[in-house]
Amino acid sequence: MQSQIANYKSPIARRLAFLLVGLAVGSAAYWWWPRGGFVLAPRAERNVLLITIDTLRGDALGSYGGRAATPNLDRLAAGGARFTFAHAQTVLTLPSHASILTGRYPYEHGIRDNNGYRLRADEPTLATRLKTLGFATGAFISAFPLDQRYGLQRGFDIYDDRVSEVGRVMRVEVPERRADETVGAAVNWIGQQRDKWFGWVHVFDPHAPYTPPAEWLTRYATDTYAGEVAWTDAALAPLLTRLAAQPRPTLVIVTADHGESLGEHGEMTHGVFAYEATLHVPLIVAEVAPGAASSRGSVIDSPARHVDLLPTVLDAVGAPAATNVAGMSLLPAISGADRADRPSYFEAMMPVLARGWAPLRGVIVNRDKLIDLPIRELYELGADPKELRNVTAAQAARVDVLAKVLATFNLDAPNRPAEESAAARERLRALGYTGGSPVMPRDRYTDADDPKRLIELDKLLHRASEAYLARKPAEAAAIYQDLIKRRPDLADAYRSLAFMLWQAGQRELAITALEMAMKNGVTQRDMQVKLGLYLAETGQSAKAIALLETLPQDDTEALNALGIAKAHAGRPSEARQLFLRAIELDATNGLAHQNIGTLHLQANDLKNAEASLRQALAIDPTLAGAYTSLGVVLAQTGRAADAIDAWKRAVGLDPTDFDGLFNLTLELVKQGRKDEAQQYGGLFLQTAPPSVYGQDIARVRQMLGR
Ligand SMILES: [Zn+2]
């Protein structure tokens, strides 16, 4: 049997492919034969394990020809079905996982970006469906974009997303959990199951920054991404080993949510483009049975898509097929019974939602890939898998055919995201995702809005954030200023520049950056709120109030900011009314409770302050500021040890909470806990901006004898 690539190159096959596309897409192409002997028959008594490896390129595993040594996943692939042509529907963590877990396209399940979307409560998922079928269900998550607030937790008995417990003090927090910790939690849970179960294990390590544990860092010093991949494979070994000891066979599906560009086509990471570097994903479907030698594996060249995974699992456990899903079971493709093409829709909406660039959509049909942007691209993936030759000019007729296929999908403007809370935005930003208010989509986009023309800006944004993380703020600031000159509507450049300047204590310059954004027509709400807060905190409360009063008064974040400005202006009762209004609009608004607590604290009403602050933390245990204020209450009421714990938590949640860090150092000195005082005081001296904390720095230095 010839491979499909050889077939595809022959002129007759090409003409056939073309005709099939033109006549009836996906109905009758038949060149894909499974190579090997893996079979998977439907069977109700079977566990299901879904492993999603974040940011794993389709060509990164050893079995796919990658550089990383991945013996554990290679062994799994060698005994199962390894798909060579599997694709994601989109290129970001949350929307991709939503497609995997619902079997539906992004415009159907409604999640278009990591920022501002929630899965609807009536959307059935793999977990809700398997739960109904009597499976115990557990999810083990390694990064914030899949936090339970985004809605994928429905149907899981346990949704373990404790990603913020990684040691945080002394370094900038990255809200992720290492693969071995996540795997450990999953192995524990599997060990407790008696009946059949569905487990989902999400590991995040190949995501930037590429910093595997020392052993892998040394071994892959020149390719730290491959080091992360090899380390992830090693970390998954205990999970795969555990399956062999299960009383039932376990269906194992391994895939990635998206890949990583690593500089291809000018993109550093993922999210802007949808080239194969990020759209092509690995896919292994295997079964691990107790005591059974693994069957001979198969290599499957038939196309597979993320939306096919839910139907595949339901098929494999003998459940009735789901209605209202976009995908189809892959079992017939594995057995060789179904060799039809599966047109694959894809999109990348982050550039339009976060930056106002043109939306990217496309479709893959019979190994041809159309990327529909202002400057269209057509690639023949069979012959040109790296997408180096855009053949739109030479193949105009085929562009038309694929455009017609694309038009059968929903191409409306993306459904609008909601505003994330300020805390959630910061955590997304720590992972390198845009954490801002959404941009309004426009009716028309020109060549100048094509991400291909703008990818240099994306590269500069990455370079600036790397410079910032490497503690080179001047270098980062220069890059942001250059970006603003090139594209004065690039909200993220102003946002990051202002944040960085503020952290560095250059508060007036931070304000100037945000005012310049407004002058240039960038009017995203989160930036206006921030400007209001900056003005209030630098003694310009009248100006802050005037600005914040122009914002919609049904926005809890604007209400909180306006309340803070009024408190700074010496108008606490008006401030309190605003915080109460925010609570009225949203009873779960922890920040409003925190602000009321701080008002009580300022009025020296310690009892009510403590009650409000504890309520804030009961609602949202990630509010660093609430811990800082609570620490003050505790210290003033003679509970020094508890105060120290509260401030440690504050600093753990937000290493730039300099007030908390200062209080903590002072109290540790007072209590004679010298080593800890040196540790936290040292951090304060290293990181607090002298222009704001000059006197406090002098005081700490003196107390620590430095
Ligand atoms: Zn991801």
DSSP string, 509-549: HHHHHHHHHHHTT---HHHHHHHHHHHHHTT-HHHHHHHHT
CA distances 541 to 488, 514, 547, 561, 688, Å, are 28, 16, 10, 11, 24
424 Cβ neighbours under 8 A, 6+ residues apart: 144, 147, 149, 435
CA of 41 to the centre of ligand 1 (A): 31
Helix residue spans in 260-328 (DSSP H): 276-279, 309-316
Nearest to 143 by CA among 193, 96, 86, 213: 96
**Beta strand spans in 519-665 (E):** none
Q: What is the phi-psi region of residue 539: left when phi exceeds 0, alpha when psi lies from -120 to 50, beta otherwise?
A: left
Distance CA 308, CA 343 (A): 12
- For residues 426-432, give the mean pLDDT: 71
- For residues 136-158, give the mean pLDDT: 94
CA of 422 to the centre of ligand 1 (A): 21
Q: What is the phi-psi region of residue 148: left when phi exceeds 0, alpha when psi lies from -120 to 50, beta otherwise?
A: alpha
Q: What is the pLDDT confidence band of residue 16, given thresholds at 50, 70 and 90?
A: very low
CA of 415 to the centre of ligand 1 (A): 21
What is the residue whose two structure tokens read 């099939």? 20
Do 275 and 75 touch, CB atoms closer than 8 A? no
CA distances 660 to 504, 536, 666, Å, are 17, 20, 10
Distance CA 278, CA 276 (A): 5
Distance CA 345, CA 410 (A): 10
CA of 126 to the centre of ligand 1 (A): 19
CA of 303 to the centre of ligand 1 (A): 21
**Beta strand spans in 37-80 (E):** 47-53
Choose between 173 and 528: higher pLDDT: 528
CA of 96 to the centre of ligand 1 (A): 8
Distance CA 52, CA 476 (A): 34
* Neighbour tally for 187: CB within 10 Å: 17
CA of 54 to the centre of ligand 1 (A): 5
CA of 165 to the centre of ligand 1 (A): 20
633: helix, coil or strand?
Answer: helix
Element (H, E) at 698: helix 690-704
∠ CA(377), CA(382), CA(385), 5° rounding? 60
CA of 57 to the centre of ligand 1 (A): 11
67: helix, coil or strand?
Answer: coil
pLDDT of the residue at 11: 31
Report which DSSP code applies to 166: S
pLDDT of the residue at 20: 41
Nearest to 127 by CA among 192, 195, 49: 49
pLDDT of the residue at 474: 86
Q: Which of 165-169, 313-317, 590-594, 660-664 shows the lowest mean pLDDT across its residues? A: 165-169
Sign of CA dihedral 663, 497, 149, 212: negative
Distance CA 605, CA 159 (A): 39
How many Cα atoms within 13 Å fall on the side-chain side of residue 23?
Answer: 9
Protein residues with C-beta less than 5 angstroms from the ion ligand 1: 54, 93, 257
Q: Answer whether residue 57 shows pLDDT above 80.
A: yes
Choose between 588 and 251: higher pLDDT: 251
Distance CA 418, CA 423 (A): 14
What percent of the chain is predicted at pLDDT more than 70?
A: 93
**pLDDT (tens digit per residue) in 59-101:** 999 999 999 999 999 999 999 999 999 999 999 999 999 999 9
- For residues 665-681, give the mean pLDDT: 94
CA of 169 to the centre of ligand 1 (A): 25
Nearest to 451 by CA among 347, 587, 296, 570: 347
- For residues 401-407, give the mean pLDDT: 96
CA of 259 to the centre of ligand 1 (A): 8
Sign of CA dihedral 647, 651, 652, 654: positive
CA of 352 to the centre of ligand 1 (A): 18
**pLDDT (tens digit per residue) in 334-379:** 999 888 899 999 999 999 988 889 999 999 999 999 999 999 999 9
Q: What is the pLDDT confidence band of residue 425, given thresholds at 50, 70 and 90?
A: confident
Give the distance, in angstroms, between the CA of residue 5 and the centroid of all CA atoms in the same chain: 34
**pLDDT (tens digit per residue) in 649-668:** 999 888 888 999 999 999 99
CA of 428 to the centre of ligand 1 (A): 12
For 139-150, give one letter per residue: b (16+ CB within 10 A) or e: bbbbbbbbbeeb
Q: Answer whether residue 569 shows pLDDT above 70.
A: yes
Residue 78 phi/psi, 5-degree rounding, is -65, -20
Element (H, E) at 412: none
CA of 92 to the centre of ligand 1 (A): 5
Distance CA 560, CA 525 (A): 13
CA of 584 to the centre of ligand 1 (A): 36
Helix axes of 491-503 and 507-519: crossing angle, nearest 10 degrees: 170
Distance CA 140, CA 200 (A): 6
CA of 101 to the centre of ligand 1 (A): 14
Q: What is the mean pLDDT of the chain?
A: 89
Choose between 395 and 15: higher pLDDT: 395
Q: Answer whether residue 4 shows pLDDT above 70.
A: no
CA of 66 to the centre of ligand 1 (A): 19
Residue 162 phi/psi, 5-degree rounding, is -75, 75
Q: Answer whether residue 7 shows pLDDT above 50.
A: no
**pLDDT (tens digit per residue) in 476-497:** 999 999 999 998 988 889 999 9
Choose between 5 and 503: higher pLDDT: 503
pLDDT of the residue at 21: 43
pLDDT of the residue at 31: 61
DSSP string, 320-380: PPPSS-S---SHHHHHTS------EEEEE-HHHHHH-PPPEEEEEETTEEEEESSS-EEEE
Choose between 224 and 416: higher pLDDT: 224
